[in-house]
A and B are shown apart, each in its own frame.
Chain A
Amino acid sequence: MSVVGECVLAFVFGTAVGLLVQRSRFCNTAALRDAMLFKTYRNTKALLVAMMILTLGFTGFITIGEGNPMRFDVGLNQIIGLFLFGIGMVLAGACTVSTWVKAGEGNVGAMWALIYTFAGMFLFSLVWSFIYWPPAPAAMSGEPALEALQLGFSNAATLQEKTGIPAIVFGLVQFAVLFAIYRSIVRRERPGAGRMASIG
């Protein structure tokens, strides 16, 4: 596909996502924050449903050698980075999606969060240029490099390659785990569920 074709396709996809998120008021931050703070799961259930569909879709296509999975080495930086991100999104009241969507609704706070997200990225680029960690893509080997706190690369395709078991089988296991979490949330939400438990 040409560069222009890629950009047009990405823009059409983004437009559909922006429209659907705006109309549904879905928020990834709320999916985690509201479950922890208020024990409400409106967004958490939607997130789990999407992850179930994606798990089956991605692993299904990876099984037959289709699709474009992300490829880069992972390690301690994913845990620390998303830990900082998790604090940041709750404080800002929006994640990467909702900052764009809320900005599109005229929310100045979300625009401010976006500006400072860019500022944070630029600050990190300065720090990275001194410490060179995590490794740049060209330095990634796909193998564990413990001195750089890197565990290498592993996904559904490598699991299939190493075990000979189709990737969709692992996908079905993950689907079952996600479905079990979803079901336990739905049960907890049922009116009288708490009262029944206390009677029992």
Chain B
Amino acid sequence: MEFFRKTLDPVIALAAIAVLDIFLFLQLGAWTVGGGETMMTGLIAEFFMGDDLRRIPFWQLVFEPDAGYWKIYISLGMLFGAVIGAVMSGEFFIRYPRRLSEWIMITIGGLLMGIGIRLAFVCNVSTFFGLTPELNLGGYLAISGIIAGAWVGSLIYKRILGV
């Protein structure tokens, strides 16, 4: 099929995603990823810790683990869709970061993303595809933060990888 042979223009792909996001906004709420990831974190922690998790107030007052939280399934769907796309187009193969510096950057980067999402209550997706198009004040605050952060991150990236 042509769709799996050629790279799709990202403008067309994102325009289609925007239309789907408007439909989701009417039914449930705008596209977001961080909330679902937080709920997954709570469910994983609950699996290992059992009732001890309830002793951490965050998991009672902010996010009570609930497998029926719809945002979890957006992330799982993205993973599923990406697997289908990669397998059908022959682009699925296991690859690893080659250098130790890359592993360290990914580890620190992942930690900062997780901390940042929970501190802000939003991720990049809800900033650009939810809050800002809803003209929410939080969207503009988040955009100023993410642009400053991406600029600092780019300087670090440049220095470490010598780009």
Contacts and interface: CB of A to CB of B under 8 A. Distances in A.
Interface string B91-111: 111111100001101111111
Nearest to A126: B56
Given A78-B122, A78-B141, A112 B135 contact: no
Interface in B114-131: 114-131
Interface centre among B4, B114, B126, B156 (most CB of A within 10 A): B114
Contacts of B25: 57-58, 61, 67-69
Given A47-B128, A116-B107, 12 more contacts: A13-B77, A25-B10, A77-B120, A83-B152, A86-B148, A86-B151, A88-B110, A97-B124, A104-B80, A106-B92, A120-B114, A123-B114
B47 interface: no
A81 B153 contact: no
Interface of B: 3-4, 7-34, 37-38, 40-42, 44-45, 56-59, 61-63, 68, 70-86, 89, 91-97, 102-103, 105-138, 141-154, 156-158, 163
B106 A116 contact: yes
B36 to A, nearest CB: 8
A34 to B, nearest CB: 9
A183 to B, nearest CB: 14
Contact of A123 (B37, B111, B154): B111
Nearest to B4: A23
Contacts of B8: 20, 23-24
29 contacts: A1-B28, A13-B31, A14-B79, A16-B20, A17-B17, A17-B81, A19-B85, A32-B146, A37-B157, A51-B132, A68-B27, A69-B30, A75-B141, A78-B141, A82-B120, A82-B146, A82-B149, A85-B120, A89-B150, A101-B82, A102-B82, A104-B85, A108-B94, A109-B95, A109-B106, A113-B109, A120-B114, A126-B58, A128-B58
Q: Interface extent on A, as a size class?
A: 35 or more
B163 A37 contact: yes
A171 B133 CA distance: 8
B26 A93 contact: no
B73 A49 contact: no
A183 B9 CA distance: 18
B30 A113 contact: no
Interface in A73-97: 74-93, 95-97
Given A36-B154, A115-B110, A120-B111, A125 B89 contact: no
B133 A55 contact: yes
Nearest to A113: B110
A54 to B, nearest CB: 4
Nearest to B92: A106
**From B11, B44, B109, residue with most partner A Cβ within 10 Å:** B109
Contacts of B145: 78-83, 85-86
Contact of A7 (B26, B73, B83): B73
Given A23-B85, A88-B153, A92-B109, A53 B15 contact: yes
Contacts of A159: 135
B56 A57 contact: no
